[in-house]
Structure formats: structure tokens, C-alpha cells
Structure 1
Amino acid sequence: MENSKITRKNPVDMYSPVGKYTHITKIPRNSELYVASGQIGVDQNGELPDDMNEQIKNTFDNIQAVLQSEELTAEHIIKVNIWATQKIDWYYLNTEWEKLFGQNYPAMTIGYLSELGLPEIRIEVEIWAARV
């Protein structure tokens, strides 16, 4: 039944997404909603590397850990917000993105800011997820 799963689509009357996302993600009624704090590029030892791509890799590892803690997968992610303080290496980020999502992209917003919670944080990624 279509109403019993998370669906993602791009309306036919709209432009195609300019990145690896869908325009709309719908969650069915009575789903459990999970909102995670923004994940940053801290490694398992609590160290924050200076390199942006290392922070991106660690951030995606941390997202996986958050998902696994609730027995969720990337299929459950309905929305992603990405905040960065410097230009993102999109080739590298997309590689990590596809490892997580394959070709089943959630809704997404990207913003560049002058600073995040600490000056050494270069990227923060927030996820919203739902379990049907």
C-alpha cells in the first residue's frame, strides 16, 4: 500500500533537482519521527580534523552511528540540512552521499554560513528520519 511507506518524488511540473535530492518526501500518518542534532566531523576519539573532506567523512560516519543506534537506515531519512563554512568539495561529498543513500535521495537544504558552533567546525549535517 502506497500510504504505508516513505515516498520521494519530483513533481512533473517542476525543474529537475540540481543535486542529489528530491523535491518532496512524504511520510505516512502515524510514523515515528526522529530528529537528530547536527552531526559534525569529530572522529571516534573526539578529535576534529582541520581538513574539510576528513570532516565530511567523519560526519557521514557519525550519521551512520546515529541511525544504527535506533535501528534506522538511510531509507528512513526524510530530510537533510547541510551547513558549511567553506566551499564544499562536491565530488567528495557526493561520494559519501551515494555510499549512504545509493540513488534514493531525501529532501535536502544546503546553506553556507560564516561560522558554526565552534570556529573549527567546517560542516554540520542534520538529519530527520521516520519509521513507518
Structure 2
Amino acid sequence: MTALTFRPISSPLLRPPPGPWSHAIEVQPGARFVYTCGLVGTQADGTIEQGIEAQTKRIYDNLVILLQAAGMTMADVIKINTYMLDLSEQPAYARVRNPYLGDARPAMTLLGVAQLAQRDLRVEVEVIAAKRDVTE
């Protein structure tokens, strides 16, 4: 028996999303949630990756590790919040992020911010994932 954990919600009265996201996500009853902290482009030893692309890759590699530890994948991500110092770097960020999404279309928010926790950081990402563990 397989059941969906969530479903994208839209309306023909809204402009379709111009990127790999959904307007809204409805989580079905019985799902468990994982909320991440703000992930930044640091290696396990604390070294900060240099540049938006390297930081984005490190963030999403680390996110995959966290999700695996929770028994989840990127397909379970329902919401992504991204904080960037320079919004002109968004296309480079998206080029690195999009392959990690696969067919997933979570709800997304992108914010330009004045600064992040450390001087060399360019981007920070937090996600919410939801999954229903189904036994047959």
C-alpha cells in the first residue's frame, strides 16, 4: 500500500511557477517532519567553500547526508528557504541546486539579505521535509 505524503497545490487563476517549485504543498495526515537549520557551504572541518557554486554544492551535499540520516531523500523536501547576499548570483545557485531536486517541486522562498553568520558565506539554505513511513 503506497500513499502520498504531500501534494502540490496550484490554481489555473495563478501564473504557473517559472522554475522548479510549487505554489503550495499540502502534507497528508500521518507524515513525520524534518526541519533543518540554516545550512551553509562549510566542510566538516569548518572550512568555508569559496564562491556561490561551491557553497551551493556543499549545502546540497550536506542536505542529502542529513536527509539520509532521517530516512528521507530530496523527493521528501516540501519547502526550501534560501538566503543570498547577492541575488544576481541566483542563476548560478539554481544551476547547482536543480539537479539535486530531480522531479521534486517543493515550495520555495528566496530572500536577499544584508549579511550571513560569517563573512565569506554567500548563501544559506533551510528546508522542511515530510514523509509517511508506509508498511505493506
Taking structure 1 as the reference length, the TM-score comes to 0.88
Confirm or deny: 8 A CA contact 2:82 2:125 kept in the other structure.
yes
Find out whether 1:111 has 2:98 as its counterpart. no
Residue matched to 1:96: 96
Tell me, in whole angstroms, the C-alpha distance in 1 between the residues paired with 2:98 and 2:129.
17
Instruction: Name the stretch that deviates more: 120-129 or 14-23.
Output: 14-23
Offset, 1:18? 2.9
Confirm or deny: 8 A CA contact 1:3 1:28 kept in the other structure.
no
Query: How many percent identity over aligned positions?
Result: 22
Offset, 1:89? 3.3
AA paired with 1:59? I
* Cα RMSD, aligned residues only: 2.0
Residue matched to 2:48: 48
Residue matched to 2:77: 77
Residue matched to 1:26: 26
Offset, 1:115? 0.5
Runs of 5+ consecutive residues of structure 2 not aligned to the other structure: none
- Once the two structures are superposed, residues 35-87 of structure 1 have per-residue CA deviations (whole angstroms, 9 ceiling, x without a partner) of 11011000233210231211111111111111111110111111000001123
Q: In the comparison of the two structures, how many residue pairs are matched?
A: 132
Runs of 5+ consecutive residues of structure 1 not aligned to the other structure: none
